[in-house]
Amino acid sequence: MNSSFLLRERSIPILGLSLLALLILLFPRVGHTWKVPEKLVYELSWTGVKVGTATQEISQQGETRRIVSTARSNDWLSLFFPVNDLVESTLSVTGAPFPGLTRQHRIRMKEGKRSRDRETIFDQDQKVAHYTDHLSGEKNDVPIAPLTFDAYASFYYVRHLPLEIGKRVTVQVFYGKEAEKLEVQVLRKEKIQTVLGKVNTIVIMPMVKSKGVFEGKGEVQIWLTDDERRIPVKAQTKVSVGSVTANLIGGTY
């Protein structure tokens, strides 16, 4: 999950659009009713300055679900650091808890002068993930445990689990070139102002392994509505200077 949306050349933290899209745009309704299709739209800012938007949608056709997430820099930031990210996951609905078993996951990112195009095919039956970097040509086969998700689908799965303040939950996740357990801490309850009005929320913190400019920071907090929908209304992460915030501004939920 090494996705920094920071201007490395000038050592100025601009915004982790990809990181935030990865961490916050992943939560459908909880309980026995799951809303599909669903769309979430976020405004992204760095220390109060608006820098872009992110969207995430989940849809279903037959026995296949699809998660599509995007991140875009706004006009002023695009002048010197354009960001255009697309992440897609395909899952099989049958034989697994919501949202299903990951079958394919692809990340296509353009951030400043950096580009990525990485794809993973999940063979859940043989318990192996086939990783390909379409730009470098690198390929790797990685053993995976049963019920291993891509990073996006993993959070849908987490939303299906009971969340108790002070407790932790874990999920098996494949990050690019390796598979491991992701731990999510359930921190506290908090009432905050949102696009939905003033709502009660549950604050969680995924214990991600930060790399690059995010190394040594690693603290990402996510505010979920404390109801059956568990909508992620806000997320915030510390960066080298200040913090990056994502606030829900619209969508269909």
Q: What are phi and psi of 90, to 5 degrees?
A: -120, 130
Model pTM score: 0.82
Distance of alpha carbon 119 from alpha carbon 176, whole angstroms: 8
Please give the residue that has the higher pLDDT: either 49 or 215: 49
Q: What are phi and psi of 152, to 5 degrees?
A: -70, -50
From residue 146, how far is each of 102, 127, 149, 175, 235 by CA, in Å?
11, 7, 9, 15, 29
Q: What is the pLDDT of residue 218?
A: 56
- Comparing 103-112, 149-158, 183-192, the range with the smallest average pLDDT is 149-158
Distance of alpha carbon 201 from alpha carbon 212, whole angstroms: 31
Q: How confident is the model at residue 137 (pLDDT cuts 50, 70, 90)?
A: very high
With a cut of 60, say whether residue 215 has pLDDT above it.
no
Strands 168-175 and 148-150: parallel
Query: What's the whole-number average pLDDT of the chain?
Result: 83
Q: What is the pLDDT of residue 211?
A: 43
With a cut of 90, say whether residue 69 has pLDDT above it.
yes
Residue the block writes with tokens 């692809």: 106
In three-state secondary structure terms, 85 is strand
- Comparing 2-16, 106-120, 127-141, the range with the smallest average pLDDT is 2-16
Distance of alpha carbon 30 from alpha carbon 7, whole angstroms: 37
Across 23-37, 94-108, 197-211, which has the greatest mean pLDDT? 94-108
pLDDT, mean of residues 76-85: 91
Length of the chain: 253
Q: For residues 239 and 217, is the Cβ–Cβ distance under 8 A?
A: yes
With a cut of 80, say whether residue 164 has pLDDT above it.
yes
Q: Which value, in Å, is the radius of gyration of the alpha carbons in the chain?
A: 17
Q: What is the pLDDT of residue 75?
A: 94
With a cut of 90, say whether residue 119 has pLDDT above it.
yes
Q: How confident is the model at residue 22 (pLDDT cuts 50, 70, 90)?
A: very low
Q: What is the pLDDT of residue 174?
A: 93
Distance of alpha carbon 56 from alpha carbon 88, whole angstroms: 10
List the one residue out of 179, 190, 182 whose CA is nearest residue 23.
182
Q: What tokens were used for 95? A: 């034989």
Q: Which helix (H) or strand (E) holds 20?
A: helix 17-24
With a cut of 70, say whether residue 186 has pLDDT above it.
yes
Q: What tokens were used for 137? A: 């040509």
pLDDT, mean of residues 66-74: 94
With a cut of 50, say whether residue 25 has pLDDT above it.
no
| 131-134: Cβ within 8 A, 24+ apart | 131/176, 131/177
Q: What is the pLDDT of residue 229?
A: 83
Q: What tokens were used for 130? A: 């086939």
